[in-house]
Amino acid sequence: MPAPGIRVLPRPTGPGRTPQSNRASHLFPRSGTPGPIMAETSSLNIPTVDLADLASDDSARVERAAAAIREAFGVFGLVYLKNHGVDTQALNRFYDAFAAFIARPAEEKKPYGRADIWYQRGWTPPNTEVAVASNGQPDFKECYFVAPYPNDAQSALEFPELYPENVWPQNAPPYFEDGIMTLGRSLHEAGLKLLRGSAVALGLPETLFTDLCDRAAHVTRALQYLPLTNTQVNTDIVWGEEHTDFNLLTLLPGGRFLDPDGSPAPGPDNKSGLYLRTRATPEAPNGLKVRGTAPAGCIVAQVGQQLEILTGGTFLATPHVITAPGVPGWQRQSAAHFMHVHTNTVLFPLEKFRSADAVRNYAPPVLAGTYDIKTLVDIGLAPASALDKLGYRHYDRLNRQRAGT
């Protein structure tokens, strides 16, 4: 990885637009590089929401959960969830299957790396996805994308690369397909509950967000962060550059480390893992760097850019980074389910949040599918030519007509 000149962009102190991508700039000082001092703490009290509270008939329990969501998403952009319905044993079984796939030779995995569908299904090779403001440095990871539910036919006609059919490896390791599909659906169900709770927390109709999610291009992704060599550890290399997710809501079931022999093991040090950046305050204009490790038995949910835009910045997309360990040879496996609003949704603050500031920060209104295409180009998954789809594509007809051909 080239040593990037550290570029620290101040985070807006009020609701403001994050870059129109799922990658932000280097906001955290990286090891070995200068940067502003930012408090690092794992003691901040990120709220936990019990999804059983949200489903209860007891208004006090519902209000307790709603208050926790307001604080969690308003301040941290992240919440811990309990009673989420994700089966940890099944998750580990899937991680075993995924590790077996990733261990295959690159040549064998190549047919599943589908640039033609912008890597929205199948294998993402290493050195493919890049952080927008990372000097072009790709992340150190391999991934696999699937859609846990069948595609909506009309949406697939409108945005074919966002709704391709799933791609499955030949002779997939046992439990590969079932494992990721089961995981994706469990996370999606938990996400729907949280989105209903989020709408209630904001005084909106309960199904407002979940209605926008109907038939959308939701994707579940398995990730494996790759081992660093002796010369790469303790440099400025991170496993995943700091960024904000471009979707509505991200569900993270928790990951695990693999030791240099490829066996699951507790982390090699306390250096690596998920860190998030809190909202800026006058006292901490760069925000606080907080470890995003969920309490035992909980999963994590994060605000994405679409939820930030719809709420006019009331909920803020969470900048997060995956730091690498200080020892060579270790890998990390994780998974994420990305819930999106439907591609035909207009991304703009909902009426309730349409203050002059919010309008200024989030104008112009843009179609979610268009926004997705732009972002996928920004992060290197779609080719720049994909942007040509966004304008009129038939100018040549007039030229041909004039030429009489």
Binding interface with Fe ion (CB under 5 A): 245
- Measured from the CB atom, the residue of 69 and 249 that comes closer to Fe ion is 249
Rounded-to-integer distance, Cα 194 and Cα 192, Å: 5
- Measured from the CB atom, the residue of 50 and 245 that comes closer to Fe ion is 245
- Three-point CA angle 296, 93, 164, nearest 5°: 105
- Measured from the CB atom, the residue of 155 and 272 that comes closer to Fe ion is 272
Rounded-to-integer distance, Cα 228 and Cα 328, Å: 5
Question: Least CB distance from residue 305 to Fe ion, whole Å?
Answer: 11
Rounded-to-integer distance, Cα 239 and Cα 336, Å: 15
Residue 228 Ramachandran class (φ > 0 left, ψ -120 to 50 alpha, else beta): beta
Question: Least CB distance from residue 243 to Fe ion, whole Å?
Answer: 6
Query: Which single residue brings its beta carbon nearest to Fe ion?
Result: 245
Question: Least CB distance from residue 22 to Fe ion, whole Å?
Answer: 7
Coil vs helix vs strand at 254? coil
- Measured from the CB atom, the residue of 118 and 239 that comes closer to Fe ion is 239
Q: Cβ(330)–Cβ(207) under 8 Å?
A: no
Rounded-to-integer distance, Cα 312 and Cα 189, Å: 25
- Measured from the CB atom, the residue of 173 and 253 that comes closer to Fe ion is 253
Rounded-to-integer distance, Cα 359 and Cα 373, Å: 22
Question: Least CB distance from residue 131 to Fe ion, whole Å?
Answer: 10
Question: Least CB distance from residue 319 to Fe ion, whole Å?
Answer: 9
Residue 4 DSSP label: P
What are the C-alpha distances in Å from 61 to residues 163, 197, 209, 219?
A: 38, 11, 21, 31
Question: Least CB distance from residue 240 to Fe ion, whole Å?
Answer: 7
- Measured from the CB atom, the residue of 196 and 221 that comes closer to Fe ion is 221
Question: Least CB distance from residue 321 to Fe ion, whole Å?
Answer: 9
Please write down the long-range contacts of 208-211, taking CB distance under 8 Å and 24 or more positions apart.
208/350, 209/248, 209/307, 209/310, 209/341
Cis peptide before 173 (omega within 30 of 0): no
59-71 vs 176-201: helix axis angle to the nearest 10? 100
Within 217-297, strands assigned E span 219-225, 238-243, 249-252, 256-258, 264-265, 273-277, 289-291
- Measured from the CB atom, the residue of 144 and 353 that comes closer to Fe ion is 144
Question: Least CB distance from residue 333 to Fe ion, whole Å?
Answer: 15
- Measured from the CB atom, the residue of 22 and 186 that comes closer to Fe ion is 22
